[in-house]
Amino acid sequence: MRITDLEITDFRNLAQVAIKPGEGVNIIYGANAQGKTNLLEAIWLCSGNRSFRGAREREMTRFGAKVFHIRMRFADRERTQMFSYDSGGEKRKLQLNRIPLRSPSELTGEFTCVVFHPEDLSLVKDGPADRRNFLDIAISQIKPVYGRYILQYNNLLEQRNALLKQIHRTGSGKEMLPVWDEQLAKIGTAVSILRQDYLQKLSGLSQGVYGGFTGNRETFSLEYESSVYRDGLSEAVYSEELIDCYRKALASHLEEDIRLHYTGVGVHRDDLEILVNGISARAYGSQGQQRSCAIALKIGEAMLLKGITGENPVILLDDVMSELDPGRQDYLLNRIQGFQVFITCCDTAWASQLADGKIFEVSAGQVTPKDRTAVESI
């Protein structure tokens, strides 16, 4: 999968952009606050996901404009498609091949994309919520039904927690808990199985990327830490036995849940452990190791998407070069094969290290293709 044409109007500070990206690596360079990340954000929206910055649509329209427009032509193994995204006015307008879409989520699976941005260091450094969110977005691109599972689970969890507060306050309603527990157990079991299965596949691929970064001098692995299945899931098969284990976990925490007013066990409390040389990267990894782990996870995600869907997702890497040594920089620039990659950076020296690909300069919201020799002379 690759983007062949991209047009952006009045998105953030990008007034008018029209580019034809290369099939391989595309370097997007320029000083800070010129629009490099805005370009990647516009591409990311075309995957059907929300802004990776957490912004609302009305915040993305250029100051003084009323509507932003994104037009993207992309090709997979079978055909070329056209997507348009207009927002900021009275009503959002989405079209795929001139067919109206009701919401961005209908794009899931049509244009697949993986993004790394500096905040993704939270995958390694911060609490478990960011790692769960990473898993939920990644798995949803492969199995759209998974996103519905998460939505259903969160709705059930909210209702169970409301009932726990009522029980704590009034002492009534305890007889209703089995209704919510049964549904949570069934959906939570399915989510647990899908997460563990995904991580088992992702771990090997990310290890390959991390080994490429380090010359195989360091090891990388992932472990799923379940609050329900403490000894792990021996088999990734949905069964009454696993559902019953989930039920018992909820029952064993019931009195504490009533006291604390929330559900203390379940997939909403699970975590992903990232290990370098067998020890926690979060607790003991250097800044460079933590950044390498986060990038390895993202590129591994892209490789897994390719293996399952048969299509190469587009890879977006925002400000990845800082705190990486020359060997790891070279890996990102020249050794990711078979994918269309967009890499933003500030230093033209990194752009000049690109062996083969396209280079674009971003300045004051203008995106201009650059000849390699022109960049090398800067």
Render pLDDT for 161-217 as a digit per residue (tens, 0 to 9): 999 999 999 988 899 999 999 999 999 999 999 999 999 999 999 999 999 988 899
Q: What is the mean pLDDT of residues 234-243?
A: 83
Q: What is the mean pLDDT of residues 24-47?
A: 94
Specify burial of residue 246 (Cβ count, 10 A radius: 0-12, 13-18, 19+). buried
Interacting residues of 183 by C-beta distance below 8 A, sequence separation 6+ = 152, 156
Task: Please count the residues of the chain.
Answer: 378
Element (H, E) at 139: helix 128-142
Q: How far apart are CA 345 and CA 354, in angstroms?
A: 12
Structure tokens at 151: 């939505």
* Token pair listed for 252: 């064993």
Q: Which token pair is 236?
A: 């990734």
Delimit the domains of the chain by residue range: 1-112+317-378, 120-310
Class of 1-112+317-378 per CATH?
Answer: alpha beta
Q: CA-based diameter of the chain, in Å?
A: 76
120-310 carries CATH number 1.20.1050.90: yes
Mean pLDDT over each residue of the chain, to the nearest integer: 91
Question: Which residue's entry shows tokens 């879409």?
Answer: 101
Single-letter residue type at 19: I
Question: Mean pLDDT throughout 50-62?
Answer: 88
* Residue 208: per-residue pLDDT: 94
- pLDDT band for position 377 (50/70/90)? low
User: pLDDT tens for residues 100-156?
Assistant: 998 888 887 789 899 999 888 889 998 999 999 999 988 988 888 898 999 999 999
Helices (H), 215-269: 240-252, 254-260
pLDDT tens for each residue of 288-337: 899 999 999 999 999 999 998 888 999 999 998 877 888 888 888 888 88
Q: Whole-angstrom Cα distance, residue 25 to residue 133?
A: 27
pTM of the model: 0.85
CA distance linking residue 81 with residue 90, whole number of Å: 26
Distance of alpha carbon 254 from alpha carbon 257, whole angstroms: 5
147, 140 Cβ separation under 8 angstroms? yes
- The one-character DSSP state at 216 is T
CB 29 within 8 A of CB 16: no
